[in-house]
Amino acid sequence: MCDPERLNLKYPITDEYDKEQGYVIGFSAAPYSVRANERTRASILSGGRAFVNIIMPIPGELVVQTAHAYSEEANPVGPMLTAAGALNSGGDINLLRRVFVDPMLTYFSNISSTTSQQMYSNITELSLKSEARREYEFGWLLIPKNQCDAIYIQEIANAFREASYPVYADLPERIYPPPIWAMYISGTDGPDDSLTRNWLGDPMPLVLTSVSVNKVPLDSKRVTYFTDGQPVATAISVMFKEFETGAINPDTRFVQSKSEYLRTFNP
* Mean pLDDT of the 240-262 span: 89
Residue 208: is its pLDDT beyond 80?
yes
Q: How far is CA 29 from the centre of its chain?
A: 13
Could you tell me which residues come within 8 angstroms of residue 235 by beta carbon, excluding any fewer than 6 positions away? 139, 140, 141, 142, 212, 213, 214, 217
pLDDT of res. 189: 78
* Mean pLDDT of the 139-159 span: 91
The count of other CB atoms within 10 Å of the CB of residue 89 is 18
Q: Are residues 29 and 180 in contact, defined by beta-carbon separation less than 8 angstroms?
A: yes
pLDDT of res. 29: 96
Tell me which residue of 138, 120, 130 sits closest to 54, measured CA to CA.
138
The count of other CB atoms within 10 Å of the CB of residue 110 is 14
Tens-place pLDDT, residues 92-148: 566 566 655 566 556 555 555 555 445 555 667 788 888 888 999 999 999 888 888
Tens-place pLDDT, residues 2-41: 777 877 899 887 666 656 667 899 999 999 999 989 999 9
